[in-house]
């Protein structure tokens, strides 16, 4: 969420080119750094059984440093990327756009008729 929140505020972001941020980051709206998936050295949080190995995406440190230097030296380019990111978030990731997808997914997972989920959201004002 912090990456998406920064983008919504028009801030340029640097993130890994792997992982969940790829759902909303693109080369035109974020600086993407090469990464590799690696096991997290600590124990996973006590959230129950994991579906797979507890991993994260480690950025290529040299590329990350080069990207940070590039952003600091090309501030107008970074600001423009931030503006494009804010426009993309506003266009695709507002609650008006996302809520129907959430409701459909929850309905599917719970076996509830999606129409019932939509009427529920209309009565709760969400």
Residues 6+ apart with CB under 8 A from 90: 8
Distance CA 42, CA 52 (A): 15
Is 118 buried (19+), middle (13-18) or exposed (0-12) by CB count in 10 A? middle
DSSP β-bridge partners for residue 9: none
Which pTM value belongs to this model? Answer: 0.76
Give the residue among 6, 9, 55, 64 at the shortest CA–CA distance from 34.
64
Q: What is the pLDDT of residues 63-116, one digit of tens each?
A: 999 999 999 999 999 999 999 999 999 998 888 888 888 888 888 888 887 777
Question: In this model, does residue 28 exceed pLDDT 90?
Answer: yes
């Amino acid at each position: 969420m912090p990456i998406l929140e920064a983008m919504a505020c028009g801030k340029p972001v640097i993130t890994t080119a792997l992982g969940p941020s790829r759902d909303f980051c693109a080369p035109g709206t974020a600086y993407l750094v090469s990464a590799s998936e690696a096991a997290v050295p600590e124990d996973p949080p006590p959230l129950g059984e994991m579906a797979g190995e507890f991993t994260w995406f480690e950025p290529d440190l040299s590329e990350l440093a080069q990207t940070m230097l590039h952003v600091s030296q090309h501030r107008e380019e970074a600001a423009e990327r931030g503006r494009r990111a804010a426009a993309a978030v506003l266009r695709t990731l507002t609650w008006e756009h996302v809520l129907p997808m959430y409701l459909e997914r929850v309905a599917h997972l719970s076996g509830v008729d999606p129409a019932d989920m939509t009427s529920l959201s209309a009565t709760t004002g969400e």
